[in-house]
Structure 1
Amino acid sequence: MRLIAVMLLGVVLMTSCVRKKKEVVEPIDTSSMVHEVAVKKVLQANAYTYLQVAENDQEYWIAVEKMEPQLGGTYFFADAMEMKDFKSTDLDTVFSSVFFVQKLSTSKAASSPAMANPHGSAQGRQSVELDQSIQLEPVKGGITIGQLFASKAEYAGKEVLVRGKVTKVNNEIMGRNWVHIQDGTDADGSYDLTLTTDASIAVGDIVTMQGTVAVDKDFGAGYFYHVIVEGAVVK
């Protein structure tokens, strides 16, 4: 009997540990363009800060690039991209639902829907500022970012080789890393190219990457890319 009791206690403890790995939240109310939230809990990972927040009678999780929020503080953000059953490798935790936002603001006026997309901006607008100091020659056998945007239909579904300087990185979203590069070329104001990759890349790196072009790619929730290179690898 004592052995059985010990075994039952072990099962209870193991079940308790598993339950702690799954964060359950109610769906966010997306009827408001700007959300005002109070921070209830903070979890720090390597690249992201996860916050359990309260908005009116709702509590849910959001994730932003690494920051030091004030516990109990009030913040604002615009539309967010929801990831369901999202696993944070750093925290070894699965969130039933977490909303990725690019930036929390202490001012409601500073929040706008375009700030919410962790990869780019709504409707394909360029969210990364043009770095005029970047002037790179295309790699042999490759194309420039300007050429890609100017002739996107020609390259749709094809592999391309591009070279650029990394201007922004968002890691571990939808099971991949999102890398923005520029090379000094553009087409009608489109100068920042987004690539998805498994590679670990840092802002400021100059990289040559090869991947498959997708055009007019819609990930839902207003996150749309006129051109994106998927499954890119460093060459």
Structure 2
Amino acid sequence: MLKTKILQTLLILAVITACGRNNNSGSSQQAMPTDEKVFVVQEVLQTTKYTYLKVSENQSERWVAVSKLEAMPGDRYYYDKGLPMKDFHSKELNRDFETVDFINNISKTPLGQKAVTNTPIMQAPHGHSGKVVVPKNSDVSIQKSEGELTIAQIFADPQRYANKQVEIKGTVVKVNKSIMGKNWIHLQDGTGHNDKFDLTLTSNQVPPINQVQSFKGTLNLNKDFGAGYFYEVIVEDAEMMINY
């Protein structure tokens, strides 16, 4: 009888121990991130305050930018969200990048286990610009009717049109698609004021390049979208209009 009770007790203890192990194992699995992003550094370019890293991830290579960081080729970093910047020009490096991802937080250990080792950069480096610099197209010359608004008029007196709906016609010289959920359209009409001749519009539509097109949208001043996208003058939520 005593032996039976001892065996029963040992069996109960074994079950409790096994359950405890299973629970601990489950807790460990829950603590481990399931969607960690990680890259390996291939090349490092340093500037005064920022570090550009050529990295490999999922068998592909790309460039990212972070706050100043002592990194070496072969270093492995975990990271969270980033902001992709297309046609990015670094003045300090005097280099153009087709795309650079500006990373907020990175760490050599999973971010869920340790404080990040890099401070956030919600804007592009000082002296850099996320904006695309578009040269003046000397071939653009738009015939406009009397009273039609010109790009020169907008840049000469932007306060006059601030926070108002404007209609503007010009040649689409460049379109940057799907940046921060918008398409960025560069419009020129052959006019300008104080070397300002390229008007930027945001839109959900994608007009053909080199097409003469009219747009209607809201003109806003001093808009800062972050990551170097600052515009003294911009037409937002523009819609294409039918040209008769």
User: TM-score normalised by the shorter chain: which range applies?
Assistant: 0.5 to 0.7
Give SS of 1:209's match. Answer: strand
Which SS does the other structure have where 2:155 is aligned? helix
Name 1:41's counterpart in structure 2: 57
Q: Deviations over 1:135-192 (max 9, x none)?
A: 1023676301001111100000111111111122111112111100100000111100
Could you tell me how far 1:115 is from its partner in structure 2?
5.9
Q: Pick closer, same or farther for the CA change 1:104–1:160 going to 2, 3 Å.
A: closer
Shift in alpha-carbon separation, 1:24–1:200, aligned structure 2, 3 A: farther
Instruction: Report the Cα distance in structure 1 between the residues aligned to 2:54 and 2:179, rounded to whole angstroms.
Output: 24
Note if contact 2:47-2:93 (Cα within 8 Å) is conserved in structure 1. Answer: no
Pair 187,58 (structure 1): closer, same or farther in 2 beyond 3 Å: farther
| Alignment correspondent of 1:8 | none
2:91 matches 1:98:
no
**3-state SS of paired residue (1:38):** strand
Question: Alignment partner for residue 200 of structure 2, among 188, 194, 204?
Answer: 194
Q: Provide the residue aligned with 2:151 in structure 1.
A: 145
User: The residue matched to 1:102 in structure 2 has which SS?
Assistant: strand
TM-score by length of 1: 0.58
The equivalent of 1:51 in structure 2 is 62
Structure 1 residues 104 and 163, CA, compared in 2 at 3 Å: closer, same or farther? closer
1:38: how far off? 2.3
> Would the alpha carbon gap of residues 173 and 43 (structure 1) be closer, same or farther in structure 2, given more than 3 Å must change?
farther
Q: What is the CA deviation profile of residues 66-113 of structure 1, one whole-angstrom value per residue up to 9, with x for unaligned ones?
A: xxxxxxxxxxxxxxxxxxxxxxxxxxxxx73234142479x9443696
2:84 and 2:179 in contact (8 A); partners too: no
Partner of 1:81: none
Which residue in the other structure is 2:95 paired with?
110
1:174 is matched with 180
Which consecutive unaligned segments of at least 5 residues does structure 2 have?
1-33, 40-45, 97-124
Matched position secondary structure for 1:149: helix
User: In 2, Cα distance between the equivalents of 1:137 and 1:60?
Assistant: 54
Structure 1: gaps (5+ residues): 1-18, 45-49, 62-94, 121-126
8 A Cα contact 1:177 1:200, kept in partner? yes
Amino acid at match of 1:227: V
Identity of aligned residues (%): 33
Q: Structure 1 residue 227 and structure 2 residue 233: aligned? A: yes
2:220 aligns with 214
Task: Report the CA distance shift for 1:43/1:142 in structure 2 as closer, same or farther (over 3 A).
Answer: farther
Larger gyration radius, structure 1 or structure 2 = 2
SS at the partner of 1:148? helix
Distance 1:38 1:150, change over 3 A: same
Aligned residue type for 2:229: Y
SS in structure 2 opposite 1:146? helix
Paired letter, 1:216: N
Q: Which amino acid aligns with 1:51?
A: R
CA distance, structure 1, for counterparts of residue 237 and residue 193 of structure 2? 23
Please, which moves more after superposition, 201-210 or 50-59?
50-59
Aligned position for 2:13:
none
Contact 1:139 1:163 in 2 (8 A): no
Alignment partner, residue 155 of structure 1 = 161
